[in-house]
A and B are shown apart, each in its own frame.
Chain A
Amino acid sequence: MTEPIKAVALISGGLDSMLAAKVVMDQGVHVEGINFFTGFCVEGHTHAIRARKGSAPKRNNALWVAEQLGIKLHIIDVIEEYKKVLLSPKHGYGQHLNPCLDCKIFMVRKALAWGFMAEHGFDFIVTGEVIGQRPKSQRKATMPVIAKESGADDRLLRPLCAQNLPPTLPEREGWVDRDALFGFQGRNRKPQIELAQRLGFTEWAQPAGGCCFLTDAQYSRKLTDLWAAQGSKDYELDDIMLLKVGRHIRPAPHFKLIVSREEGENRYLEGYRKRFLNLRPISHLGPLCLVDGHPEPADLELAARVVARYSQGREAAAVTVAAEDPNGERRELTVPPLAPAELPSAWHV
């Protein structure tokens, strides 16, 4: 019996990769999905952190897509390897700190390495790329760059825009019928939506602006601030996770306050209390605050006043705040809450 032709499809959880995988599946190819967790994925983390009371639990869209397609999905942790992509992207950044072209090359290369391992035995890679869809990474000129620099070459098939590109190995070998692929291009989503309806999909995720925090202006600002404060472009997972949580207030270059905004964030920051100097109002209800950096003893009062300002005692004459260092040493400060005018907008990262 002949082995079926096998393709590994990059599944982001969005519409295009879902359609690309489906189009190839419908040609009789065995497809499995692969999804990479860089640490900057919008999926999951923030949903979990900021879960509000009564809100429906958020799904992982990549897993949801895999279920709709009836395919396996392999989720790969690439946090460490991704640092190189973000910290020194060969092709530079997009509008913010998004290294989209390097990111796509990296992911195709990883998919190739994973899929072509002897025990996996895949024949080609599928992505949902569309020429002209994204200004940085999905352009006519970048398509061959991704194929070449990832090492996938003509084993990389983009079913949604294949007819605008030279035939790839799966097309030449007859593993897939080029005539049954598509020639989509541009930012117009109509052809994808029509195809989705034709294929029987009634629901799909709409990750406006993408599924990556690095395309977010505010997040990129916080990451730039982190690098400036630590004097080097580097990060650990906890650093980038904490950038997703709370208000970030930097009164001085040597310390920053991370103040939770709601119960979910409070609970999340609790997990870091043993690693940071932390403050919490005790005379009134209020947020947990982590102090990142190297605050001087004199900075503690200002930090307590900021915490008081975000507590339910913001209108009170004084609020008592407990400060605890990572060794468990605790002290209490009774301070007047900072008035809004005393909190310059420039402190907000």
Chain B
Amino acid sequence: MSEPGPVETLDARGLLCPMPVIKAQDRIAGLRPGTVLEVWATDPGTLADVPAWCRVHGHEVLETAQADHEIRIRIKVN
């Protein structure tokens, strides 16, 4: 397994879907392949929508985590 690239973060807390997806999409458009983007969110819909968006665009979800109302999704840009 290749080493993960640089890690970027996106704070989408307080936004409701689809805004976290849109923010992630726009951010990823400017990232190099191999970069890891960590999305912070609070809308539970993000747990379904961001991975779905990643699947249709060919990016890899490395990890999703939820604690209290905080969600973190790590995406490897392909």
Contacts and interface: CB of A to CB of B under 8 A. Distances in A.
Interface of A: 37, 41, 43-45, 47-49, 51, 57-60, 63-64, 66-67, 70-77, 241, 267, 271
B70 interface: no
Given A60-B52, A73-B53, A43 B18 contact: yes
A75 B53 contact: yes
B52 A44 contact: no
Given A43-B17, A48-B45, A64-B52, 13 more contacts: A44-B16, A44-B45, A44-B49, A45-B16, A49-B16, A60-B45, A63-B49, A67-B52, A67-B55, A67-B56, A74-B25, A75-B18, A75-B25
B45 A71 contact: no
B44 interface: yes
Contact of A59 (B16, B48, B57, B69): B48
A58 B56 CA distance: 18
Nearest to A41: B18
Interface SS of A by simple majority? mixed
Nearest to A44: B17
23 contacts: A37-B22, A43-B18, A44-B16, A44-B18, A48-B17, A48-B43, A57-B44, A57-B45, A58-B48, A60-B21, A60-B45, A63-B21, A63-B53, A63-B56, A64-B52, A67-B55, A72-B56, A73-B53, A74-B25, A75-B25, A77-B22, A241-B16, A267-B69
Interface in B48-66: 48-49, 52-53, 55-57
Interface string B1-25: 0000000000000101111011001
A37 B56 contact: no
Contacts of B45: 44, 47-48, 57-58, 60
A48 B44 contact: yes
Nearest to B52: A63
A72 B21 CA distance: 13
Nearest to B45: A48
B56 A71 contact: yes
A276 to B, nearest CB: 15
Contact of A60 (B14, B17, B55): B17
Which of A44, A67, A76, A241 has its CB near the most chain B CB atoms (within 10 A)?
A44
Do most interface residues of chain B lie in helix, strand or loop, or is the interface mixed? Answer: helix
A77 B56 CA distance: 19
Interface residues of B, number: 20
Contacts of A47: 17, 45
A44 B16 CA distance: 7
Contacts of A49: 16
Nearest to A71: B56
A195 B52 CA distance: 26
B22 A66 contact: no
Contacts of B48: 57-60
> What 7 A-B pairs have minimum CB-CB distances, sorted nearest first?
A44-B17, A63-B52, A48-B45, A66-B56, A48-B43, A60-B49, A45-B16
B49 A73 contact: no
B45 to A, nearest CB: 4
Contacts of B44: 48, 51, 57
A73 B56 contact: yes
